[in-house]
Structure 1
Amino acid sequence: MLIENCSIFSRKGIKKGSISIENNVIGRIGKALKKGRDEERIDVNGRLVLPGMVCAHTHTYSAFAFAFPAKDKSEDLEGILKNLWWQLDQCLDRETVYWSAVLTSRRYLRNGVTTLIDHHASPNALRGSLSTLAEGFKKFGIRSCLSYEVTDRYGEKKAREAIRENERFAREFGGGRKDEMFSALFGLHASFTLSSETLQKCFEIANKLDVGFHLHLAEGKVDVTDALKRFKKPLIQHLMNEGILNKKTLAAHCVNLNKKDLQLLKKTNAKVITNPRSNANNGVGMMPLDGMLREGITVGIGNDGLGYDMIEETKALQCMHSLSAKRPSVLSSEILNEILFLNNSKIASSLFKKKVGEISEGAYADLVIMDVKPFDNKLNLMNLDTSLVDSVIVDGGWKIKNKKFVFGLEESEKEIERVAKRIRKKRLQF
């Protein structure tokens, strides 16, 4: 496939040129590429071409939350976990896990998101659940790195089963071993629901498999106070002692951290993921982004399962920090682009066989054609929105073309409606 007359977003800004796709990767990028024999040729007439976007932390299991409203008002993070999410995850069976992935794939692709780093939970449909998720993602073809959250809140037996699920999936799919569309991390819920003994078991297996951890870190104050109470150590120090924080670790949220915490976190080389809309919705605060950037910590962005639009998520990051500082546009366009595109690409690329989320030769051919023509070589995300997504390519193949999915949706729409009704019925019985 040859895509001509593009405005290509890259690390150095927007440049004019053409992109050739060879099998599932980007072959050549240049101004005068020759069309190969029988090669599909697309002229995008100067429109913007972005790399397929990455969501660096999400929860696909939350897809049917629209059919599962919280019954009680929650006063804090623990409340919303107990009143909603820890009830929803217990209602999931294998079928709902599968259709959660299908529903999620459709909505992310519609918004130009082609890669997910997912953190899963379905305690009553645990064994094989990551493979079920992968099966659902494969239906529409979205790239994903999967993990299962280990927690002690459902008892030792479930914790052991969750450890085995992470181990099984990582052995089979880690690093794109079996299928380059999938990879694996080792999921942990959060320190405040995990014993030292469970963390030690997780470390032993993850270390043996050479796989990183994916966990929630300091999302709520409870994570910080619990570490001091149970382990007599600050949270970051406790997790460092357990071997959980290292260069392969993805730590989501990182809200309730002080200057000393950030200095320690920097030493671990862990990567952190901000989730601004979820943090605002749960009232937990904001990641200390200025401090993270000063320390040189890699900051990516996810959505914690709230929504499917990474451009709007990045706009929310700008709005929250500008409101807090009481200054307009406190984060530069360069910082926003770095977090959404460059850092998310860096994070995802470390998990797969080839580069993900960037337009470069040899990277996976995951591309988004936007229905807009740039006026200069700078990308301002605050002026973009995903209603402008015209076409989406994943792994070298069309998923959306001229604003229409290339595959039928009728069957999945009926099944999603049926499953949503089942979830609703379970909610009424819970």
Structure 2
Amino acid sequence: MADTLIKNGYILTMDPDSGDLKKGEVAIENGRIVYVGLSYNGKADKIIDASGSVVMPGLVNTHNHAGMTLLRGYADDLPLAEWLEDYIWPVEAKLGPEEIYAGVRLACLEMIKSGTTTFADMYIHEQAAARAVEDCGIRAALSYGMIDFGDPERAESSLLKGRNFVKDFNGAANGRISAMYGPHAPHTCSQQFLQDVREQARKDDVKVHIHVLETEAELNQMKEKYGKCSVNMLHDIGFFDSDVLAAHCIWLSGGDMDILAETGVHVSHDPVSNMKTAAGIAPVPQLLEKGVNVSLSTDGCASNNNLDMFGVMKMTALLHKVNSMDLTVIDARKVLEMATVNGAKALGIEAGMIKEGYYGDLIVVDMKRPHLTPLYDVDSHLVYSALGSDVTTVLVDGKVLMENGQVLCMDEYEIMVEASKAAKKTDSQHLIDVLGLNNPSSDQ
């Protein structure tokens, strides 16, 4: 007997071998998909009626700093150096484990409500992030952000923290959490430190998550220091492999793209964040043409300012069409692949497709909405018209986290209250109280 049966929906499998089903059923047992087809013959403990909806793989967000939900809208429209040095870094220094726990729970709530079932994260106090992920039921690939700035003592301390995190949390939450190593970036980490991290990741058989060529300033800094760009430096020290997830990858040359393709590096594209910070436009069409696996991500809320992957999908398509002045570049189906199949591939998880044997990480999108009427093309509507708020039901590992718009795995209001309290600890002067936290008559 199946645990859950989803029926009467349009099944967007994202599986090239089976194709989509205009009206089908998906059965899940013990956290895995056991049937995809027209009519399931067995029984199920729970039945979800997806009439008028699309059933699709949960979205995979491959680059995030989830704890930065606490910094959403804190400082916007500023020069990058001023934004970082005068606002973001000073506030981050005030964040402790409990603040990060509150911020990551808020991020998980936001992601679940908008259809993300898996995310990759790199930030501080990542043990607290792991605790939040375990509590919320979402899937995540977590990495402790490591920086040494050429300081041997800091390098030793950072690597130890990373090793301990991998040891303690890889495979945690019944396998929903995978741990990665997270050296921040080539310009904030020494060559020796990057080599040490690379060696340790191979020993521990885990993946590596790193920022690469996010800004022109990084490109210039690397050329001045090493006489070569970040991609060439990392390639020369043997850092690149198919277990590396490289975020941003904006300032690439043609040769850089060839290296990424040859080494099997996975690229995480953050179009909204990159536009907001005026970092540049990643050459995604060219990367895809060369065979690089490119996935999608939001980045952190300080530079996005939300975690809605539906918005990221739309921006991905539009940005590269206008940048290339070619309406055919990165069509809707390709964008959907980047947000599902490619993301799962980058993180090495059996998800991103509705396929027998894969994780029961699925979402149901209600198509009976004014902005989705009439419906001619499902792919087009999901990318160009749908919103994260159109997601009504979310399953991770076969467990129903949200049903008919009601989050079942956590108390929404309590999470917003605790996150607001955590934000208040960092900057009470500018925080606007919309939840009534300062109202003495409030019962909350």
Same fold by TM (over 0.5)? yes
In structure 1, the residue matched to 2:65 is 59
Q: Is residue 248 of structure 2 the alignment partner of residue 253 of structure 1?
A: yes
Could you tell me which residue of structure 2 aligns to residue 125 of structure 1? none
Alignment of 1:235-250 (within 5 A): 235-250=230-245
Preserved contact between residue 14 and residue 379 of structure 1 (Cα < 8 Å): no
| Greater mean deviation of Cα atoms: 204-213 or 99-108 | 204-213
1:166 equivalent among 154, 158, 162:
162
CA distance in 2 between partners of 1:413 and 1:35 (Å): 41
Offset at 1:255? 0.4
Quote the residue 2:393 is aligned against.
Answer: 391
Given that 1:172 and 1:178 are in contact with CA atoms closer than 8 Å, whether structure 2 keeps it comes out as no
Q: How many angstroms apart in 1 are the aligned matches of 2:429 and 2:255? A: 45
**1:27-426, aligned counterparts within 5 Å?**
27-36=34-43, 39-66=45-72, 68-69=74-75, 74-76=78-80, 78-121=81-124, 129-153=125-149, 155-174=151-170, 176=171, 179-305=174-300, 306=304, 307-328=306-327, 330-348=329-347, 350=348, 352=349, 355-372=350-367, 375=375, 378-380=378-380, 381-406=383-408, 407-425=410-428
Distance 1:39 1:285, change over 3 A: same
Q: Is the 8 A contact 2:52 2:366 kept in 1?
A: no
The alignment partner of 1:98 has SS state of helix
Q: Is the 8 A contact 2:111 2:117 kept in 1?
A: yes
1:21 matched to which residue of 2?
Answer: 28
Higher mean displacement: 212-221 or 377-386 = 377-386
Aligned amino acid, residue 32 of structure 1: S
Task: Determine the C-alpha separation between the residues in 2 that align with 1:394 and 1:346.
Answer: 17
SS in structure 2 of the partner of residue 108 of structure 1: helix
Q: Which amino acid aligns with 1:117?
A: A
Return the letter of the residue paired with 2:39: A
Whether the aligned pair in 1 keeps the contact of 2:215 and 2:251 (CA below 8 Å) is yes
Contact 1:113 1:310 in 2 (8 A): yes
Whichever residue aligns with residue 321 of structure 1, its letter is H
* Cα shift at 1:333: 1.7
Deviation at 1:279?
0.6
Distance 1:318 1:409 in 2: 32
Look up the SS of the partner of 1:379 in the other structure.
helix
CA distance in 2, matches of 1:62, 1:154: 26
RMSD, aligned α-carbons: 2.3
Q: What letter matches 2:239 in structure 1? A: I
Q: Which letter does structure 1 place at the counterpart of 2:212? A: L
Relative to 1, partners in 2 of residues 1:45 and 1:378: Cα closer, same or farther, differing over 3 Å?
A: closer
Q: TM-score, normalised by structure 1?
A: 0.89
Q: Matched residues in 1 for 2:329 and 2:226: separation?
A: 38
Deviations 1:52-111 (A, max 9, x none): 1110111112111137436xx7434x4433233333322210111111111101000010
How far apart are the structure 2 equivalents of 1:421 and 1:80?
A: 19
Deviations 1:121-153 (A, max 9, x none): 3xxxxxxx3221111122221111100121124
5+ unaligned residues in a row in structure 1: which ranges?
122-128
TM-score (norm 2): 0.87
Match of 2:436 in 1: none
The CA distance in 2 between the partners of 1:315 and 1:388, in whole Å, is 14
CA separation in 1, counterparts of 2:173 and 2:117?
Answer: 19
Tell me, in whole angstroms, the C-alpha distance in 1 between the residues paired with 2:127 and 2:412: 22
How far does the alpha carbon of each residue in 1:377-415 deviate from its partner, in whole angstroms, 9 at most, with x for none?
751211322221111111111111111112433432332
